[in-house]
């Protein structure tokens, strides 16, 4: 009986650890955790990324051929009329959805893929640091 209790204790600890790990790995690959090092305040103060040198070029390269308010409807390739990503204000309005759709295997944006690991890493570092303008 004593050993049953001990085993059960071990099982519960293992379960707790598995749950904790599961929670952590769930968001790995998202902007929020894909670069743990960038999350520290120090790193953010020295990171060189900005909307101008990172966010804007990324959106221009990978997103605004569908998500730009100057595009006639027939050239948006189905992108919703309200989802435009060419300005910093646009980015801020959509940042949560951008994070959800860029770092996912389910219906990712851009639909055909394309951004390199490095581009995604830099975008994630910038976003982790609060996406400074």
Q: What are the residues binding ligand HEC (CB under 6 A)? A: 62-63, 65-67, 77-80, 83, 85, 94, 97-98, 101-102, 107, 109-111
Nearest approach in angstroms of CB 94 to ligand HEC is 5
> Residue 24 or 60: which CB sits closer to ligand HEC?
60
Nearest approach in angstroms of CB 98 to ligand HEC is 4
Q: What are phi and psi of 99, to 5 degrees?
A: -60, -45
> Residue 31 or 85: which CB sits closer to ligand HEC?
85
CB 132: neighbour CB atoms within 10 A? 14
> Residue 53 or 77: which CB sits closer to ligand HEC?
77
Nearest approach in angstroms of CB 109 to ligand HEC is 3
Whether the link from the prior residue into 130 is cis, omega within 30° of 0, is: no
Q: What one-character-per-residue DSSP string does 54-87 give? A: IIHHHHHHHTTTTS-TTS-GGGSTT--TT---SS
Whether the link from the prior residue into 4 is cis, omega within 30° of 0, is: no
Compute the distance between CA of residue 31 and CA of residue 48 in angstroms, rounded to an integer: 17
> Residue 50 or 65: which CB sits closer to ligand HEC?
65
Nearest approach in angstroms of CB 28 to ligand HEC is 19
């Amino acid at each position: 009986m004593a050993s049953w209790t001990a085993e059960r204790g071990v099982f519960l600890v293992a379960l707790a650890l598995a749950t904790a790990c599961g929670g952590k790995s769930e968001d790995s690959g998202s902007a929020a955790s894909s670069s743990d090092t960038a999350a520290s305040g120090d790193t953010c103060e020295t990171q060189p990324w900005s909307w101008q040198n990172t966010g804007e070029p990324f959106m221009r390269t990978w997103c605004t051929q569908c998500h730009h308010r100057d595009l006639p409807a027939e050239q948006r390739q189905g992108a919703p009329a309200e989802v435009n990503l060419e300005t910093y204000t646009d980015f801020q309005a959509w940042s949560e959805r951008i994070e959800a759709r860029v770092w996912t295997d389910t219906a990712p944006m851009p639909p055909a893929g394309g951004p390199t690991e490095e581009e995604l890493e830099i975008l994630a570092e910038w976003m982790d640091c609060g996406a400074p303008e």
